[in-house]
Amino acid sequence: MPKLIDHDERREHIIDVTWALIVEGGIEAATMREIAAKAGFANGALKHYFPSKAKIVEGTFDRAMRIVGSGVNTDQGRGLAGLRALGLAALPKDEASITAGRVLMAYWEMSLANEEMRDRYEAFLSDWRALILRYLQEGRADGDIVTSTPDEVLVDELVLLTAGSNIMTLVGRKYTTAELVERHLEEYLGRLTRP
């Protein structure tokens, strides 16, 4: 019987290899040539699994977002509690999430010259913002969130806080630690509970 090739498994393997190359050397280190070599493929064979580097990097992005999302999808409650869980999930708090932030940064860099990649990120951001808004509205209904700052402003603030935290944990690690960004999240949440 001929051996069946598991295409999904090979695609995952290619994403593993690309992930490691990005973490070690950034977006520039993850060339098609290098990915093929590390994955054990002939140079042109990658194209059977992914049509372009952009598509492979999208695969690493999806994985990074699953790591972030894994802190959100579990049953963590609604309103303010849900918002805290979501905020914590999006912050770089351990090795796995800092690495996911690194891969996200490489994706961001590449996406600025690739409209499809940028649209994909904005679609993710749209869902993310909708989730934040839902938790804010629940928190108001529960009487936990009482600040006079409008919800739309609060959504922006949390997005800027988490994006800034991800970046600064990578490029300003001398100052920005996991403990510190968590403290800022608590400051933000504390403000929501004050008129």
Give the residues lining the site for its own copies (CB under 8 A). 24-29, 102, 105-106, 108-113, 118, 121-122, 125-126, 129, 149, 153, 156-157, 159-165, 167-168, 170-172, 174-176, 180-181, 183-184, 187
Neighbours of 6 (CB within 10 A): 10
Neighbours of 51 (CB within 10 A): 10
DSSP string over 25-53: H-TTT--HHHHHHHHT--GGGGGGT-SSH
Rounded to a whole number of angstroms, the minimum distance from the CB of residue 29 to its own copies is: 7
Rounded to a whole number of angstroms, the minimum distance from the CB of residue 185 to its own copies is: 10
Name the residue nearer to its own copies (CB basis): 96 or 133.
Answer: 133
Rounded CA-CA distance 120/111 in Å is: 9
Rounded to a whole number of angstroms, the minimum distance from the CB of residue 61 to its own copies is: 11
Rounded to a whole number of angstroms, the minimum distance from the CB of residue 110 to its own copies is: 6
Name the residue nearer to its own copies (CB basis): 72 or 180.
Answer: 180
Name the residue nearer to its own copies (CB basis): 26 or 77.
Answer: 26
Name the residue nearer to its own copies (CB basis): 10 or 17.
Answer: 17
Identify whether the C-beta of residue 68 lies closer than 8 Å to the C-beta of residue 159. Answer: no
Helix (H) or strand (E) holding 164: helix 151-171
Q: Cα 109 to the chain's mean position, in Å? A: 14
